[in-house]
Every structure is written in structure tokens, then in C-alpha cells.
Structure 1
Amino acid sequence: MPQQRRKDIPVGNVGLLYVGAVLFINGLMLLGKIPGKSAAVFNLFVGVMQIVFPTIILSQANGDPAAIFGASGLYLFGFTYLYVGINQIFNLPGEGLGWFSLFVAVVAVVFGVLQFTAINDPLFGVIWFIWAILWTLFFLLLGLGKDSLNDFTGWFTIIVAHITGTIPALLLLSGNYTTGPREAITLAVVGVFALVASYALSRRTSHKPNETSTVTQNA
């Protein structure tokens, strides 16, 4: 599979930049560094953006399957962040968000496979697989109440924010994004390192019981 360079700058790439930002904020929230209601505001901002942007893309797609496919995945994130924001503001339990995260994780695997087989973008295929892992952690933490995963998930969220959101978005926006087997393998290795680093960091992190409980219930 030859290396490819993408020069297009759709609005979805702008949205990806803010996916990195909101995941960074949510990771800090999970670690107890940012209060839930403070993080909720940014989640609502990005959630609305991730609903408006794909709607704009769909309205201009003219039946283009590639554009429709690209836009459809953005709604998964938009609804996630809106859900997080509403949960935090109204102090709602996190089980519903957790089970929705399982749905997102499964769909992310499908999107990742399609990036390899239909879109010919293996790097973004790996990005989708990393998102699938992250949203699975959200499911375990919130849907199944695995509170022991709180700090691990928080650190992994922070790292994933940048390796799957911030950095790819900046490369796309600057016209320097390239994809191919080499890039995909490199990111996969980085993803494994992120898991190991998150585990190591989580072993060092300590929280007051009330801080961890509040975050895991409402993240």
C-alpha cells in the first residue's frame, strides 16, 4: 500500500482538533484536576460543534459516499461529549453513558476496518482502533463500575487526546498528513506505549475517595 498525502482541509479536520482538546480536559477531569461542572461547559461546546460540523458536511455531500462516511463518525463523538456535559451539570449517574460508550467502541472497530479496506487510510484505521480501546475503558469504568480503572483511563485519555486528535488534526490542517503502513505501524506502537505509560502513571496517582467517586459516577 503506497504512502498517501492528503491536502484537503474539510471542517471535520477542525473538529478533530477539538476532539483532542476535549479528551485532554476529560482526562484531567478523571484525574480530579478539573471539577466536573467546569469540564462540562467545554464538553457541551465541542459536543454541539461535533453535531453541527457533520450536518454541514452531509448537507454538502451531494450523495458522496466518502463524505457521508466521514461525517457519520463525528456524531459518535458529538453525542458522547453532550452526554458527558449533561451528566456533569445535572449530576446524573454514568451508566447510560457507559453503555453508549460500548456502542461507540464497537462501531469504532468497524470504522477502523473500513479505513483499511475501503478508504485506504491505514493510519486513521489505527486511530479508530485506539478510540475503540478508549471508549471500551469508558464502558468498563462507567457502565460496569470498574472504579479501579479510573486513573488508568484518565491518563490514557490524556495521551490519546494528542496522538489521535491534536497531532493528526494539525497535520491535516497544514497539509502534511500522510498515511501508509509505516505510519500505521508507528502509531500502533505508540498506542501500546500509551497503554503501558498510562498503567505506570496510574500506579503513582492517588486521589481522595470523594474526588474519584464523583468523577467515575459522572464522567
Structure 2
Amino acid sequence: MLMGAVGLLYVGAVLFLNGLMLLKKVEPRAAAIFNLFVGALQVVTPTVLIIANPDVPAALLNASGLYLFGFTYLYVGITLLGGFDSTGVGYFSLFVAIMALGYSYANFQLLADPAFGVIWLYWAFLWTLFFVLLGLKREEITRYTGWVAAIQGWVTAAIPAFMILTGYWVNLGLYALILAVFGLVVFIGLWLLARQRELTATTPGAGEGSMGAHDDKHRHHWT
């Protein structure tokens, strides 16, 4: 588990960086390089875990889920550097989102880890947003997705990983409850704020002519 936590720590970093990229704080090609680093790590790590624990079903189950992230970040990095269309990443994200629901169930029912059961639900939500944004090209959710990704980088990956590595990841039921409440409050709140901002931006006299044209010109482009 400790080896997986090392990889999870850097998943937090890349989610945070990708969130900032969607918020136009980081240049996409610069983010692409770090996506390749973390993607490679998240392919090597589960491979080593599988080789080291071939007869431990729980270890194999946990390791298998890491490839979903490794392939996502490699795919994103290559897409950004190559200037490819983002549709492939988007539809792969749909696959990841569906599988994340299965891993959430497995953590609740098979691994007795409700905290990571909730975390997998977080990831199912985020990767669904990636599908809508990149696969369906609904660019109006770009900023919202950026904020969700940046926050999840800390809440679902960096902080849990550090707590695992330092031995503080123990009260799983309490952490599950905290995560569930935090996710509902923060992500619903962010969505309501985003909708309010969108309505304000489209109100006559709110600067739609100049700001709207500026936003369209500089709208996020992953590919």
C-alpha cells in the first residue's frame, strides 16, 4: 500500500496542475511534460505491485485501478504535445468514470475501505466532467472542471497519500463521512457559483460584448 501511496501523491500533483491548466494558469504544453512523468510512474508502479503480489487478490485489484490514471495522463500528455484532437481522451475518460464506480463498490464491499470508496466516487465525477468537456466538447464547463480537478488533486490524492505514508490514515469511516460532506458542499457550491457567473456574463450591460469575445478567443484547448 505504501508504494501505491507514493504514486497517489503525484497523482495529486498532476490533477492540481491540470486544474490550473484548465483555469489558464499553466500553459498546456508545459503541463503535458508532467503528465508524461506521472503517467509513466502510474504504469510502472502497478506493474511492480502485480509482479510482487501475484497471489494477493486485494493487491491485484488495487493495482489494476492505477493503470486507469497512468493511461489517462500519458494520453493527455501525448495529446497536448502532439496537438491531437481531445475526443479520444474524452471517451477514454468515460470508460474510466464507469470503472471508477466499480472500484468504489469494491472498496466499500470487498476491501472494507469506505474512505477510498468515496474517493473513487470523486474520481468518477471528475472523469465524467473530463468526458463532457473533452469528448462532448462542452467547453462551458471548462472553469468548473478546472476547479474540481485542482481541489480533488489535494483532497483525493495528495493529502490521503501523505496521511498513508505517515501512518495517519486509520479512521476510515470518519474520513469517508468528511469526504462525502465536503464533496457535496464544495462541488455543488462551485456549480451554483459557476452558473451565477455565467448568467451574469450574459446579462445585457455586463460586458458581454468585450469579455465574451475575449473568452471565446482564449478558450481552453487541450489538443
TM-score (norm 2): 0.88
Structure 1 residues 58 and 181: CA distance shift in structure 2, 3 A: same
Q: Kindly indicate whether the alpha-carbon contact (under 8 Å) linking 2:22 and 2:220 is maintained by their aligned counterparts in 1.
A: no
**Structure 2 counterpart of 1:210:** 217
Structure 1 residue 125 and structure 2 residue 117: aligned?
Answer: yes
**Structure 2 counterpart of 1:89:** 81
**Structure 1 counterpart of 2:163:** 171
- What letter is aligned with 1:171? M
Deviation at 1:62, TM superposition (A): 3.0
Q: Kindly indicate whether the alpha-carbon contact (under 8 Å) linking 2:2 and 2:164 is maintained by their aligned counterparts in 1.
A: no
Q: Kindly indicate whether the alpha-carbon contact (under 8 Å) linking 2:20 and 2:26 is maintained by their aligned counterparts in 1.
A: yes
**Structure 2 counterpart of 1:54:** 46
Give the 5 Å matches for 1:46-195: 46-195=38-187
Structure 1 residue 20 and structure 2 residue 12: aligned?
Answer: yes
**Structure 1 counterpart of 2:2:** 10
SS at match of 2:24: coil
Q: Report Cα offsets for 1:28-68 as digits up to 9, x if no partner.
A: 01111111100000000000000000011011003110110
Structure 1 residues 75 and 87: CA distance shift in structure 2, 3 A: same
Using the aligned pairs only, state the percent identity.
47
Cα RMSD over matched residues? 1.6
SS at match of 1:119: coil
Q: Report Cα offsets for 1:183-212 as digits up to 9, x if no partner.
A: 211110111123134325645598732332
**Structure 1 counterpart of 2:202:** none
SS at match of 2:110: helix
Q: Kindly indicate whether the alpha-carbon contact (under 8 Å) linking 1:28 and 1:34 is maintained by their aligned counterparts in 2.
A: yes
Q: Kindly indicate whether the alpha-carbon contact (under 8 Å) linking 2:142 and 2:220 is maintained by their aligned counterparts in 1.
A: no
CA–CA separation in structure 2 for the residues paired with 1:197 and 1:164: 18
CA–CA separation in structure 1 for the residues paired with 2:102 and 2:39: 22
TM-score (norm 1): 0.90
Deviation at 1:180, TM superposition (A): 3.3
Structure 1: 5+ residue runs without aligned partners? 1-8
Aligned length: 208
2:33 corresponds, among 30, 37, 41, to: 41
Structure 1 residue 30 and structure 2 residue 19: aligned?
Answer: no
SS at match of 2:48: helix
Deviation at 1:78, TM superposition (A): 0.1
